[in-house]
Structure 1
Amino acid sequence: MSQNSQLPKRDKSAYRPTPKRVVFRRDLETGKWAWIKNRLFFPIQTHAQALYRKLEGYRQTHPQYYVRTAFAAVIGALIIIPAIGIIQHDPAIKAKVIRGIDSLTQNKVLTLAAVTGRSTVYDEDGLMHGFGYDVARQYASHLGVELRVIKFDDANAVLSAMHSGDVDLALLSQSNIISEQSAKLPISPLACSDSERAIFAGAGIDADLVFVSQADSDIVSNVTQFLCDDEFQEDLSYLAKFHDDTLLDNAYNAQHFADAIQKLPLYEYGFRLSAKEFNHDWQLLAMIGYQESHLNANAVSPTGVQGIMMLTQDTAKAMGVKNRNDAAQSIRGGAKYLSQLQSQFQDIPEVDRLWFVLAAYNMGPNAVRQIQSRLSESGKDPNLWLNFYAYLHKNAAKNSRYRQCITYVTNIRTYLEAIKKHNANA
């Protein structure tokens, strides 16, 4: 037995603990997130710095490997990037997802691609609607599904989305379908007859609007059956009247509106101030004032309403307006009343809420709710503006207030679009 093996084992010195990595106090974070920073981010940073130093050392000892890696990356990019572009743009290569009625009703979503425009989807400065868009919403309501819209600036992008199976339907003018491949796609014209085409054209709406689906999809046949239903045909003519874009084509109306635009700066500060206080679009307040009184602070109607916003005596009192002919008080009172109406109709989807609120401003919220109840009793969605607007038309002969409301809301929509366009151009 060796001499070393006979030596007794020495206990570990209490003065020489196991060495640990030194962490200076200045390296540690203090405060609310100290534990996360010290236990998570600090170790990650430390290991990342160590890895960088290791790679840097390897680069200095084996520089040839880095040159080969960089060369391989460049060659790979030159091959992969063009290939991805071809796959994305060539519908024959990209895997298709055939969308039909079964998948649509199962997913509970109708996805629509559309070219933005006056006749399709109008989306300017917080105001979104449109004739084709409203027709698609009505179809989605008929199926009991949600409508999602993807907007594009040109027809080629819409057709590309359709070919690839990214959407269920496309909405565009038939004149945009010019390629041989797209011409074979099934289409469903929004106008089912020549008389309807005439109604569209008379309202300034593109009479060549069509829904388009994939070649193997059965959605177009279903939407055609819906569009050409006799009852919906009547509603569609009313919808065209609501989106009529010819009001200001009349020389008298155009001149009158132009005069109001010149007069608007006198009251613009008041509209902006009240709009900011009650979270409104000031241009909307201004166009309500134009429809009500043509921006005349001293206006008085035969029924006794007065001022720019044409408030009744009871409404003015409830809104704290002491002098209805004072422009600032009238505008603020109208803005406050409009805010209360918006609160009362929060159950209406935002895309239609404005039209219901304007109808309530004109004929009173109780009258609006009564019509909604009748629509609900007849099995129609009471929160869709088209259903409400069609009811007004169908019963206008019985009630003059309905005729007045039709004109009121339709005109303000036209004026609001016109003022937004004017201010955007200015």
Structure 2
Amino acid sequence: MNHETWTKSQKKVKLLTMRLFIPLILALGMGSCSIPEAPIPPVQENHELVVLTRNSPTTYYEDAQGNYAGLEYDLVKLFAQELGVDVRFVVATEFSKIIPLLTKKQVHLVAAGLTITPERKKIIRFGPAYQTVQQQIVYNTFALKPDGIEDLIGKRIEVIAGSSYVERLKQAKKKAPKLAWHEISTTEIEELLEKVANGEVDYSVADSHFVSMTQNFFPNLGVAFNLGEPEQLAWAFPKDVDPYLYGKAQQFFDRIQKDGTLRRLLDRYYGHIDRLNRIDVATFLEKMNSTLPSYRKLFQQAQEITDIDWRLIAALGYQESHWNPLATSPTGVRGLMMLTSDTADYLDVNDRLNPKENVSAGARYLLALKEALPERIPEPDKTWMALAAYNAGMGHLEDARILAQRMKLNPDSWTDMKKALPLLSKTAYHTTLKHGYARGGESVILVENIRNYHNIMMKFEPAYNSPYPVLTSAKREHSLAESPEHPDKKVTLKAQ
């Protein structure tokens, strides 16, 4: 993709972003509360935990189903459950106000992806570290890549005011006195990274996990070099924090590290973000502009039938065929959603190359696979496993779940299943299982790619609110788990 084409694509993307940004903020405003004006009482007194956070994909946001999500959100909700209290989130409007509000004891703690730094430790107290990140200098790959701090002198650099990035730049300035930057009052690093991608500023600073995530939206963002040593993220408390609350937080993080809960949450939000390369993302964004409009309505109609987010169905279709309705594989799977002849017959598809029939059938098949899985499997794990079964077949997925149990892993966790599925191609394992050999590693890659494509679409494509009620009868009709006429279909049907 050349610079001119990329610029046109970025303009379209920016318009879509503006359309999405305002409704999201309004929704968050209704779901969160204003910041208390006076110090709040201890948690155990009011039976309420008040937590300050910020709106970002690494902390607290609204997902495709209109539910709140984010690593910090999930951690806080689990902690509140362990305390046996309600939780109230308040969202900071500016990053620079987060620590002052904490020191005034207007919230019990801050869960906003804060890094532990020497300067911050002088005025607040940090809980146990839960993630390690690396500050990075981000640049636009259409420009020359800077090799070190000296190359940043005289350039347009913007960073978030009050962030640890400012601390690191001040340290760097000691070696490069002419280094200068501009501090922006915002909570959202993505705003600054988008300005770098659009050529409005030359450089910015961001943590590694956020850079990797944002590169899936703006593939012309590159990492020039690391700034300083790796840092750790942690919750922040007032310096004289209530010993009861702090002790409970220590116990909580100790437990979730030992029982694997933290590992699974980190994988849920970040385990897939490095899967796509720059060309993959650029190609997908181009296809969203050129090809998706022809099939958007079909994906939305499939949502009406299945109640599965149309953007997830579209992401699956892209992974399968790059939205090519005439796609045919050497093994005979065909069409936009790449259906086998058996699957097409079972779902009453007359012509697999007809996009309308193919998209509807692919979505119904995915729904049937979800319904064939045990109800106890939580979301989004159930969806990721259904996608893996879409590729490998339900029988091989069940083999992998059995294998996970043998390995003392959790068969209801996608994080653990990512370890078990690749073993289906190894003789020592698949010979001990009912359905034998499978390219389980391929299924993992498929799911992780779809997760990325879905995330990209959730940013740039609005959710679809169907004017019709969900056709639950279609769910029953096409549920593989409940079909008395095809008792073995849930383990033999495959769409690859």
TM, length-normalised to structure 1: 0.60
What pairs up with 1:374-389 in 2 under 5 angstroms?
374-376=403-405, 379-389=408-418
Per-residue deviation, 1:417: 1.8
Q: Provide the residue aligned with 1:187 in structure 2.
A: 127
Q: How has the CA–CA distance of structure 1 residues 212 and 281 changed in structure 2, closer, same or farther, with 3 Å as cutoff? A: same
Q: Distance between the aligned counterparts of 2:371 and 2:385, measured in 1?
A: 12
Per-residue deviation, 1:354: 2.2
The number of equivalent residue pairs is 327
- The answer to whether structure 1 residue 89 and structure 2 residue 37 are counterparts is yes
Question: Quick one: which of 248, 253, 265 aligns to 1:219?
Answer: 248
Q: How has the CA–CA distance of structure 1 residues 351 and 255 changed in structure 2, closer, same or farther, with 3 Å as cutoff? A: closer
Question: Quick one: which of 384, 401, 411 aligns to 2:439?
Answer: 401
Query: Which ranges of structure 2 fall in alignment gaps of 5 or more residues?
Result: 1-34, 136-205, 215-229, 430-436, 464-496
Give the secondary-structure state (helix, strand or coil) at the position aligned to 1:270: helix
Give the secondary-structure state (helix, strand or coil) at the position aligned to 1:254: helix
* 1:106-159 deviation digits (Å, cap 9, x = unpaired): x9x99976433222244233276866259739977x989999784735565799
- The answer to whether structure 1 residue 331 and structure 2 residue 345 are counterparts is no
What is the one-letter code of the residue matched to 1:414?
N
Q: Conserved in 1, the CA contact under 8 Å of 2:422 and 2:439?
A: no
Q: Conserved in 1, the CA contact under 8 Å of 2:257 and 2:263?
A: no
Q: How has the CA–CA distance of structure 1 residues 232 and 222 changed in structure 2, closer, same or farther, with 3 Å as cutoff? A: same
Q: How has the CA–CA distance of structure 1 residues 238 and 157 changed in structure 2, closer, same or farther, with 3 Å as cutoff? A: closer
Q: Provide the residue aligned with 1:312 in structure 2.
A: 340
Q: Provide the residue aligned with 1:365 in structure 2.
A: 394
Q: Distance between the aligned counterparts of 2:58 and 2:389, measured in 1?
A: 26
Q: Provide the residue aligned with 1:251 in structure 2.
A: 279
Q: Distance between the aligned counterparts of 1:311 and 1:176, measured in 2?
A: 50
Q: Percent identity?
A: 22
Q: Conserved in 2, the CA contact under 8 Å of 1:186 and 1:220?
A: no
* 1:285-340 deviation digits (Å, cap 9, x = unpaired): 21111111001111111222110011111111111112111111111111221221
Larger RCO of the pair (alpha carbons < 8 Å, separation 6+): 2
Q: Distance between the aligned counterparts of 1:111 and 1:358, measured in 2?
A: 37
Q: Provide the residue aligned with 1:277 in structure 2.
A: 305
* 1:231-271 deviation digits (Å, cap 9, x = unpaired): 88976885565241673x60354134412431112222222
Q: Distance between the aligned counterparts of 2:115 and 2:397, measured in 1?
A: 40
Q: Conserved in 2, the CA contact under 8 Å of 1:188 and 1:210?
A: yes
Q: Distance between the aligned counterparts of 1:255 and 1:371, measured in 2?
A: 32
Q: Provide the residue aligned with 1:152 in structure 2.
A: 91
Q: Distance between the aligned counterparts of 2:122 and 2:376, measured in 1?
A: 41
Q: Conserved in 2, the CA contact under 8 Å of 1:319 and 1:333?
A: yes
Q: Conserved in 2, the CA contact under 8 Å of 1:188 and 1:223?
A: no
Question: Quick one: which of 75, 80, 99 aligns to 1:136?
Answer: 75
What pairs up with 1:161-176 in 2 under 5 angstroms?
170-174=110-114
Q: Distance between the aligned counterparts of 2:88 and 2:207, measured in 1?
A: 27
Per-residue deviation, 1:276: 1.1
Q: How has the CA–CA distance of structure 1 residues 261 and 407 changed in structure 2, closer, same or farther, with 3 Å as cutoff? A: farther
Q: Distance between the aligned counterparts of 2:107 and 2:278, measured in 1?
A: 42
- The answer to whether structure 1 residue 301 and structure 2 residue 333 are counterparts is no
Give the secondary-structure state (helix, strand or coil) at the position aligned to 2:43: coil
- The answer to whether structure 1 residue 344 and structure 2 residue 372 are counterparts is yes
Please identify, of 119-128 and 390-399, the stretch whose mean Cα deviation from structure 2 is larger: 390-399
Q: Distance between the aligned counterparts of 1:137 and 1:302, measured in 2?
A: 49
Q: How has the CA–CA distance of structure 1 residues 125 and 257 changed in structure 2, closer, same or farther, with 3 Å as cutoff? A: same
Q: Distance between the aligned counterparts of 2:76 and 2:421, measured in 1?
A: 19
Give the secondary-structure state (helix, strand or coil) at the position aligned to 2:395: helix
Question: Quick one: which of 405, 410, 421 aligns to 2:459?
Answer: 421
Give the secondary-structure state (helix, strand or coil) at the position aligned to 2:112: strand
Q: How has the CA–CA distance of structure 1 residues 402 and 295 changed in structure 2, closer, same or farther, with 3 Å as cutoff? A: same
Q: Distance between the aligned counterparts of 1:212 and 1:272, measured in 2?
A: 43
Q: Conserved in 2, the CA contact under 8 Å of 1:359 and 1:405?
A: yes
Question: Quick one: which of 286, 296, 300 aligns to 1:268?
Answer: 296
Please identify, of 257-266 and 295-304, the stretch whose mean Cα deviation from structure 2 is larger: 257-266
Per-residue deviation, 1:413: 1.5
RMSD, aligned α-carbons: 4.8
Which has the larger share of helix? 1
Q: Provide the residue aligned with 1:31 in structure 2.
A: none
Q: How has the CA–CA distance of structure 1 residues 193 and 297 changed in structure 2, closer, same or farther, with 3 Å as cutoff? A: closer
Please identify, of 263-272 and 304-313, the stretch whose mean Cα deviation from structure 2 is larger: 263-272
What is the one-letter code of the residue matched to 2:359?
I
Q: Conserved in 2, the CA contact under 8 Å of 1:190 and 1:227?
A: no
Give the secondary-structure state (helix, strand or coil) at the position aligned to 1:267: helix
Q: Conserved in 2, the CA contact under 8 Å of 1:97 and 1:166?
A: no
Q: Conserved in 2, the CA contact under 8 Å of 1:97 and 1:164?
A: no
